[in-house]
Structure 1
Amino acid sequence: MALFAIAIPIAPGKMAHFENFIEQLNGDKKAEFLASRKKLGVRERTFHQHTPMGEIVIVTLEGDNPAAAFAKFGEGTDAFSTWFRSEVKNIHGVDLAAPPPGPMPHILLDTEG
Structure 2
Amino acid sequence: MPMIVMAQPIPPEKYEKWREAISSFGGARSEEYTAARARQGVVRQGVFVHHTAGGPMEIMVMEADDPARTLGLIATSQEPFDVEFREFLMDVFGLDLSRPPVAPLPEKILDWTAPARVPGP
Alignment-derived partner of residue 102 in structure 1? 103
Q: Cα distance, 1:2 vs. partner?
A: 0.6
Q: Cα distance, 1:99 vs. partner?
A: 4.6
Which shifted more, 20-29 or 71-80? 20-29
Larger of the two Rg values belongs to structure: 2
Which aligned segments of 4 or more residues in structure 1 are displaced greater than 6 angstroms?
none
Give structure 2 stretches of 5+ with no counterpart. Answer: 115-121
Mapping of residues 53-92 of structure 1, within 5 Å:
53-92=54-93
What amino acid maps onto 1:8 in structure 2? Q
- Equivalent pairs: percent with the same residue? 31
**Contact 1:73 1:97 (8 Å CA) reproduced:** no
Mapping of residues 3-42 of structure 1, within 5 Å:
3-42=3-42
Q: How many residues align?
A: 113
- Tell me the C-alpha RMSD between the 2 structures: 1.6
The 3-state SS of whatever aligns with 2:102 is coil
Q: Cα distance, 1:102 vs. partner?
A: 2.1
The 3-state SS of whatever aligns with 1:14 is helix
Q: State the TM-score, normalizing by the size of structure 2.
A: 0.84
Q: State the TM-score, normalizing by the size of structure 1.
A: 0.90
**Contact 1:2 1:63 (8 Å CA) reproduced:** yes
In 2, distance between residues paired with 1:60 and 1:101? 20
Q: Cα distance, 1:72 vs. partner?
A: 2.0
Give structure 1 stretches of 5+ with no counterpart. Answer: none
